[in-house]
Every structure is written in structure tokens, then in C-alpha cells.
Structure 1
């Protein structure tokens, strides 16, 4: 049974995953479209500035906090296995840790690092920008869906 501190941990995990999903959804639905509409040099400059700002305490507290909560929640859930609701909690934790955190590390961050190295004024920079927007946004969609599904799975495990 999910109760006491375990319940609080699960609720905090769901809230953190939901907040992360909202941030990623904003990028997928309008931020990247707005940046893509700019001339490439301006879009690259704006995205590079966003990438620097994103590593600040507010977003990192949500993004890494959700990962930490999911990791702790998964460990506690393994200890309590097979109590009612534990499968849903594990699925939610796995969705966030792999589909959101893992995708960020393996797909989005390398693209951000590559974008930071291009010359925004060059034709190569403009060409990379078009590829970057398409690929980064695709992987961001994955992060959005994974973190939203993680939120839903954790919430459903609590019901």
C-alpha cells in the first residue's frame, strides 16, 4: 500500500515529472517554432542563450529533482515489491529516467553542445540550424511524452 512518506514521495515525483513535461511541451509547441522562424544566426544565438540559462537552478531543480525523486522512488518500490501500485510506480520512474533524463543526455545535450560550436553567420551554421531544429524538437517530443506518461503512471499507481 502506498501511504505515509512513500505516498508523499510518489506525489512529489508525479508533480516534478509533470512540471518537466510542461516545460518540454512549451518548447515543442511554440518556443522552437518561434526560434525556427528567426533568421538562422538569430535563432542560433537565442537557442544558445536559452541553453546556458536552462542550466540554472530553477530548471535544474525540476529536471534533476524529478530524476532524483524517480530514482529514490524506484529503489523504495523495489524494496516493497509486489505491493499494490508498485508496478505503476516503477513504470513511471522508468519512463522519466529513460525517456526524459536519458534522452536529454543522449540526444538533446549533444546537439546543444554542437550548436554552441557553430559559427552562426556561416552557411554551415545555417544548415546545421535547420537540422538541429528538426532533430532537437523530435527528441524533445519524446521527452515531453515520456515525462507526461511518467506523471500519469505515478498518479494512476496512487489511485
Structure 2
């Protein structure tokens, strides 16, 4: 049985995973498709604007706060491995940390930085935008699926 404190943390991790999965789902299913329909310079400029605005306290609290909670839950799961639900806690935590946090840092953020550094109105910027869409979107799909799977694991752990 999960102690009450860890029930609250697991619930918070489920909420955070769900919020992130929803955000990434919207990007995968609508925002990126809409931006891809724009002329390259316009699409790149719009994405650059999104990348600036998204770095705000509310987003960072949900994104990084969930990662911190997942780290705590992963340690709890390993220490209490024999407890019911520990495998689900560890799976949910790893899905979030690897599939969302690390994928974001290793793949999506460097692409965002490269896009910001290129002038969207230049030929280099237009070429980068094409590459950006081809690389960023699949990694975003990974984040979407990881968030949904993480959410499911936390829900199961709470049962």
C-alpha cells in the first residue's frame, strides 16, 4: 500500500503527466500541422514566438515540477520495490523522465535553439524550417505517447 504522502505525489504526477501529454498532443495534432501550412518564414517565426512564450512560470512548474515528483517516486519505487504498485510508479516515472524531460532536452530544445538562431526570412531559415518539421514533430510524438503512458502507469499505481 502506498503511504498517503506518496498517494498525493502519485496523483500530482498523474496530473502533470496528463497536462504535458495534452500539450504535446495538441502540438502533434494541430499546431505543427497549421504552422507547416504557412510559408516557411512565417511558420518559423510563429514557432519561435511560441518557444519564447512557453517558457513561463506556470509551464515550468508543471514541466519541471512533474519531473521532480517523478524522480522522488522513482526512488520510492526502488526502495519499496516489494510494495504493490512500485513497478507502475517506476515505469510512470521513467516514462516521464526519459520520454518527456530527456527527449525535450536532447532533441526538441536544440532544434528550438537552432531555429531561433536562424533568420526565418533567410534561405537558411527556410531550409532549417523544413528540417525542423521533419525532426521536431516525431520527437514530439514520442513525448505525447510517453506522457499518456506515464499517466496510465500512475493511474494503475493508485489502484
TM bucket, shorter chain:
over 0.9
Q: Which residue of 2 aligns with 1:46?
A: 46
Question: Once the two structures are superposed, what CA deviation does each residue of 1:81-102 show, in whole Å capped at 9, x if it has no partner?
Answer: 2100100110010000001100
1:144-159 to 2 correspondences below 5 Å: 144-159=144-159
Deviation at 1:73, TM superposition (A): 1.1
Q: Secondary structure at the match of 1:84?
A: coil
Q: RMSD value over aligned CA atoms?
A: 0.9
Structure 1 spans left out of the alignment, 5+ residues = none
Q: Distance in 2 between matches of 1:110 and 1:2?
A: 38
Q: Distance in 1 between matches of 2:96 and 2:69?
A: 10
1:6-155 to 2 correspondences below 5 Å: 6-155=6-155
TM-score scaled by length of structure 2: 0.97
Question: Once the two structures are superposed, what CA deviation does each residue of 1:36-89 show, in whole Å capped at 9, x if it has no partner?
Answer: 111111111111111011111111111111101101111122222210010011
Structure 2 spans left out of the alignment, 5+ residues = none
Q: Distance in 2 between matches of 1:4 and 1:123?
A: 57
For these two proteins, the number of residue pairs brought into alignment is: 159
